[in-house]
Homo-oligomer: A and B are copies of this chain.
Amino acid sequence: MSSANAIVLLSGGLDSATVLAIARDRGHACHALSFDYGQRHRAELDAARQVATALGALAHRVMRIDLAQFGGSALTDPTLAVPTQGIEPGIPVTYVPARNTVMLSLALALAEVLGACDIFIGVNAVDYSGYPDCRPAYIEAFAAMANLATKAAVEGARMRIHAPLIDLTKSQIIRTGVALGVDFSLTVSCYQADSSGRACGLCDACRLRRAGFADAGIDDPTRYA
């Protein structure tokens, strides 16, 4: 068990809540970091705050990044429709350009300031294989870059990027979270949740989440609109 500081990227969704529980279970003092990157809904950030508190994060920071001014994603660009017709092949239009790279870079900055060497991210290569920045090779390349980028690395520390969900199915993630005491009713996964965090039940994220609870044999606590 280590009590070293760790940065945990926390979106307010099911996956990152589980990651926070895993980091805490490994004994880290967890600094949760969320981004307000121009999401079309804000319920996710409200969920992140509740999850951080419920899982005993030492701190929770929300950083605003105006990726919406770049455009290019259905999650930030109101002129693009969120798909509700099932999972399409290829890279989804809900892909936010370079999002994981931007979030990990800012986590790296915070890690350096706090003297932390551990960054946790809830990427998953199974359910979201259409996203290039959710693959193991990407995470390894980011870690290699991080170890050349920072003052800490130059001084002999080793930065570690942990992606503990990367090879898990949604049902395995849910079982892991439940075992670690995550209250999934606090989390919001829906791409178009309403202002009180109720899920649409129709978008890709809702479909994957609902199927995950069914596969896990666990009652789905999601609040649907």
Write the residues of chain A forming the contact surface with B, with a CB cutoff of 8 angstroms. 61, 63-67, 69-72, 91, 95-102, 104-106, 108-110, 112-113, 132-133, 135, 137-138, 141-142, 144-146, 148-151, 153-154
Q: Complex Cα distance A65/B145, Å?
A: 21
Known contacts A66-B64, A71-B113; is-contact A153 B141 (Cβ 8 Å): no
Distance in angstroms from A213 CB to nearest chain B CB is 30
Residues of chain B within 8 A (CB-CB) of A133 are 148-150
With A64-B66, A97-B150, A132-B154 known, 9 other A-B pairs at CB within 8 A are A63-B65, A64-B64, A70-B109, A71-B113, A98-B109, A98-B112, A98-B150, A101-B109, A132-B150
Jot down 13 A-B pairs with beta carbons below 8 A, ordered by A. A63-B66, A64-B66, A91-B151, A97-B109, A97-B151, A98-B106, A101-B149, A102-B106, A102-B108, A102-B109, A105-B105, A132-B149, A138-B148
Q: Are A149 and B100 in contact (CB under 8 A)?
A: yes
Main secondary structure of the interface of A (DSSP, over half): helix
9 tightest A-B contacts by CB?
A72-B113, A98-B109, A97-B112, A141-B145, A105-B105, A138-B148, A97-B109, A98-B108, A132-B154
How many monomers of this chain does the complex have? 2
Contacts of A137 in B (CB 8 A): 148
In contact, A145 and B64 (Cβ under 8 angstroms): no
Chain B contacts for A104, CB-based, 8 A: 105
Determine whether the beta carbon of B149 is less than 8 Å from that of A70.
no
Closest to A63 in B: B66
What separation, in Å, do the CA atoms of A70 and B59 have in the docked complex?
12
CB proximity of A172 to chain B, nearest CB, Å: 24
Residues of B within 8 A of A100 (CB): 149
Q: Is B109 a contact partner of A132 (Cβ separation < 8 A)?
A: no
Specify which of B66, B69, B132, B146 is in contact with A101 (CB 8 Å cutoff): B146
Give the nearest-CB partner of A61 in chain B: B69
